[in-house]
Chains A and B, each alone.
Chain A
Amino acid sequence: MAQEEQSTRSIYTDLDDASTDEEINKWERTFRLWRETLKEHWGMLTDELSVKLSMLTVAGFMIIAIFAPFIATHQPLQRQFQGDAGIIQDKWAEPSLLGGDTEYLLGTTAEGFDIFSQLVYGTRAALLVGLIAAFFTAGIGTLVGLVAGYYGGKVDDALMRIVDFLYGMPLLPTVIVLVAVLGPDLWNIILALIILQWRSTARVIRSQSLSLRERPFVKAAEVAGAGDWHIISRHLAPNVLPMTFLYGSFGIAWAILAEAGISFIGLGDPNTVSWGTMLQASRAYSALSFGAWWWFVPPGICIGLLVISGFLIGRGYEEITNPKIQ
């Protein structure tokens, strides 16, 4: 397809719009440039078996999250026992999957919640935190990195000092303090994670765009009279996009881990079921000492599966962008 286009258009087509006023066309072309990079990488990525399996896992969890109300057998935060809440520990139902004499697939918690349904709904919280936090951390980080690397000088200095400062903040303690200030809510956890986590993407993208902006094609665009935003979006961004996606997929994993940790400490959203809050509840009721393993084993396995998938996808992508480490 590239062949055909080149025969009809000049090689400077992507600069032409500086003189035309076709707004739609301009966006279309930017979009196409980005899409081409992604398409090429997607093809290479799905060649690897571990990446393919990881993608299937993530897709599976996504389906569970979307159809959670149809998959879950009970309401996740509805007590399954009537009346006396006095001696709840007697009423732990064992999983029916292992021959327990109940209707609960994975048993119930000491509070009388159905564990299977909690797991299913927990997928929603995990993916919500993971995807939203990763999207914004990768997005903000890339934008800051591009601007810092392209403009250099004082802009670069100012932005990088902010990044340095953020690197001085310990991740979990900072998120804990932020959530304590903002209130325990899933959105506040996401916000706190975004505030801190864009630092690593920004640093990497900046160093990439620093070297890219010295390359001949950027110089050529400059000489041809392309504007700053044109160069950033059309010439730099498509080249750093692989790194953005790399950090994005690692970002999903880190965000899910962090949310689980914060919820486990007891600063999770009390109105949302997440795998972290499940673990926290199991600890609060000493499920460990009572040997109620069906309560605390499944959430951790889910966290692990999703996070490993994120890391493996990131790793597979890293090998494409940096063939040296293969």
Chain B
Amino acid sequence: MGKASFVVRRTLQLVVTLWAVGTVLFGLFRLMPGDPTSYVVSSQMTQEARQQLIESYGLNDALHVQYIRFLENLVVLNFGQSFHSNQPVTDIIATYMPNTLVLMLTAFIVAYALGITLGVLSGWYRGSRFERSTVITALTARSVPTFYVGLIVLWIFGAELGVIPMSGMTSLGTGGQNTGFLDMVFTLDFLRHLIAPAAVLGFYYMGYPLLIMRTSMLEVLSEDFIDVCRAKGLKERTIMFKHAARNALLPIITAAAIALGYAVGGSVLIETVFAWPGIGREMVRAVLRRDFPVAQGTFIVLASTIIFLNFVADLAYGYLDPRVTYD
């Protein structure tokens, strides 16, 4: 099978997966205990308004009609309105998604810069004390729950020392809420809020690229061309970074794309701890207050981020490594 048909097949698979996620979600929310219409119609409404809304949403229609409408709305990204604020869900997603992305991308850049460097070094100095301690650090970083590290950081630096704010993304009264998103991002106040959650996440995500890079380095270092480099009399540092590390980098790139997807999906906890107004926290709050349109919409955004980045990783792999064959 050639590259073109692989791309076509993979694209089809992407569409099918998205459809499957949507369908499962449609079914799940209809399994919610209680009145089947309660998830689109708030219980605090008057009977009249309620009937009107049920009618306008077409909730009296047969299930398959509702399902087809659900899929149609999914395609045009219409997730309905929040019960809580009456805002369109699309607006809510547009408000919270950038916040999550800023936090995640900052953490990711820190994590991958540090993780790759430490991974190269620990692969190179195999069997040394340095290697052992970095591996243990990486394992520890991945074992302690991020939300717990977040709590401890908040307690020590926030409550006890008072050097970082206890919650949120901007301080009240700094006008952060009124200016545009980019204006807000480049303020000192925002950075003060960003640093703690980004550092905690960065520390957590660092372990993964570190371990992959180390393993990949070990494999590359056992290949013949490294011996050739040595025989040519190249400097150790040149061999390490220019020859070995570059060849070892391939698994990292695809792993990073996939990991970024899961990071956005896993933003739930860290955003809850730091009260960071991101999409994961919004999803949790929507589930807890039974605001199902919002829960559904944010969930679909999180899932499609993962699905799409997996897709990108699969395609990238073929383009980056000419040895890959499609079968």
With contact pairs A176-B283, A324-B218 given, residues A171 and B266 touching in the complex (Cβ less than 8 Å):
yes
Contacts of A325 in B (CB 8 A): 214-215, 218
Of the residues A172, A180, A288, A310, contact of B269 by C-beta under 8 Å: A172
A288 to B159 alpha-carbon distance, docked (Å) = 7
Chain B residues, Cβ within 8 Å of A304: 140, 143-145, 148
Interchain CA distance A173-B273 in the complex, whole Å:
16
Please name the residue on chain A nearest to B287 by beta carbon: A180
A116 interface residue per 8 A CB criterion = no
Q: List A280-309 residues whose CB lies under 8 Å from chain B.
A: 283, 288-289, 291, 293, 296-297, 300, 303-304, 307-308
On chain B, the residues within 8 Å of A181 by CB distance are 28-29, 31-33
Q: Does A70 contact B (CB under 8 A)?
A: no
Kindly state whether residue B155 has any CB partner on chain A within 8 Å: yes
Q: How many Å lie between the Cα of A265 and that of B33 in the bound state?
A: 21
Any A CB within 8 A of the CB of B206: no
B145 pairs with A300, CB closer than 8 A? yes
What sequence of 0s and 1s flags, for each residue 295-315 of chain B, a beta carbon within 8 Å of any chain A beta carbon?
Answer: 100010011001100100000
B114 close to chain A: CB less than 8 A? no
Looking at B13-21, B176-184, B248-256, B316-324, the stretch in contact with chain A turns out to be: B13-21
**Chain A at the B interface: mostly helix, strand, loop or mixed?**
helix
Knowing A165-B21, A181-B28, A289-B159, say if A261 contacts B147 (CB, 8 Å): yes
A169 in contact (CB, < 8 A):
yes
Chain B residues with Cβ under 8 A from A170's Cβ? Answer: 262, 264-266, 299, 302-303, 306
Contact with B along A74-115 (1 / 0, CB 8 A): 000000000000000000000000000000000000000000
Q: In the complex, which residue of chain B has the Cβ closest to the Cβ of A293? A: B155
Report whether B28 and A178 are in contact in the complex, using a CB–CB cutoff of 8 Å: yes
In the complex, the answer to whether A264 meets B269 with C-beta atoms within 8 Å is yes
Is A164 at the interface (CB under 8 A from chain B)? yes
Q: In the complex, are the beta carbons of B152 and A300 less than 8 A apart?
A: yes
The residues in A between 240 and 255 inclusive whose CB is less than 8 angstroms from any CB of B are 253
CB neighbours of B264 from chain A (8 A): 170
Residues of chain B within 8 A (CB-CB) of A161 are 13, 16
The answer to whether the Cβ of A177 comes within 8 Å of any Cβ in the partner chain is yes
Please determine whether A171 and B262 come into contact, CB atoms closer than 8 angstroms.
Answer: yes
Q: How far is the CB of B251 from chain A (nearest CB, A)?
A: 13
Contact of B224 with A by CB under 8 A: no
Which A residues are CB-close (under 8 A) to B218? 324-325
| A311 CB-CB contact with B under 8 Å | yes
Question: Is A320 in contact with chain B by the CB < 8 A criterion?
Answer: no
How many Å lie between the Cα of A267 and that of B286 in the bound state? 13
Contacts of A324 in B (CB 8 A): 215, 218-219, 222
A104 to B90 Cα, complex, angstroms: 51
CB–CB A307/B283 < 8 A: no
Chain A residues whose CB sits within 8 angstroms of the CB of B307 once the complex forms: 168
| Residue from A164, A172, A308 within 8 A of B268 (CB atoms) | A172
Residues of chain B at interface, number, CB under 8 A? 54
CB pair A288 B145 closer than 8 Å: no
**B215 neighbours in A (Cβ, 8 Å):** 324-325
Distance, CA A161 to CA B283, complexed state (A): 27
**Cβ-based interface call for B107 (8 A):** no
Among A164, A177, A296: residue with most chain B CB under 10 A: A177
Inter-chain contacts of B88 with A (CB < 8 A) = none
Contact count band on A: 35 or more
Contacts of B288 in A (CB 8 A): 265-267
For B20, what are the chain A residues with a Cβ–Cβ distance below 8 Å?
A: 165, 168
Taking CB atoms, residues of chain B closer than 8 Å to A310 are 143
A165 surroundings in chain B (CB, below 8 A): 17, 20-21
Given contacts A289-B159, A296-B155, A311-B142, contact A171 B148 (CB under 8 A): no
User: B-facing mask of A172-201, CB < 8 A → 1, else 0?
Assistant: 111011101101000000000000000000
Of the candidates B20, B147, B158, B303, the one having the most CB atoms from chain A within 10 angstroms of its own CB is: B147
Give A263 Cβ to nearest chain B Cβ, in Å.
11
Give complex CA distance A170, B100 in Å: 15
Asked whether any CB of chain B lies closer than 8 Å to the CB of A67, the reply is no
A260 near B: Cβ within 8 Å? yes
Q: Are B17 and A312 neighbours in the complex by a CB distance under 8 Å?
A: no
Within 8 Å by CB of B151, from A168, A180, A283, A315, lies A283
Q: CB < 8 Å: which of B25, B136, B145, B151 contacts A257? A: B145
Q: B303 and A300: CB pair below 8 A?
A: no
B194 CB-CB contact with A under 8 Å: no
A279: interface (CB < 8 Å): yes
Contacting B139 at CB < 8 Å: which of A168, A173, A297, A312?
A312
Proximity bits, A15-33, B CB within 8 Å = 1, else 0: 0000000000000000000
Instruction: Specify which of A178, A265, A266 lies most central, judged by the most chain B CB atoms within 10 Å of its CB.
Output: A265
Q: Which residue of the partner chain, among B139, B158, B214, contacts A308 with CB atoms under 8 Å?
A: B139
10 further A-B contacts with Cβ under 8 Å, apart from A170-B299, A176-B287, A253-B143, are: A165-B17, A173-B280, A176-B283, A181-B31, A181-B33, A266-B284, A288-B154, A324-B222, A325-B215, A325-B218
Q: Would you give 15 A-B contacts (Cβ < 8 Å), ordered by A? A: A167-B310, A168-B21, A170-B262, A170-B306, A171-B262, A181-B33, A261-B268, A265-B288, A267-B288, A283-B151, A288-B155, A291-B160, A307-B143, A308-B140, A312-B139
| Chain A interface residues (CB < 8 Å from chain B) | 50, 161, 164-165, 167-174, 176-178, 180-181, 183, 253, 257, 260-261, 264-267, 279, 283, 288-289, 291, 293, 296-297, 300, 303-304, 307-308, 310-312, 315, 324-325
Q: Hey, which bits of chain B sit against chain A, CB under 8 A?
A: 13, 16-18, 20-21, 25, 28-29, 31-33, 136, 139-140, 142-145, 147-148, 151-152, 154-155, 158-160, 166, 214-215, 218-219, 222, 262, 264-266, 268-269, 272-273, 280, 283-284, 287-288, 295, 299, 302-303, 306-307, 310
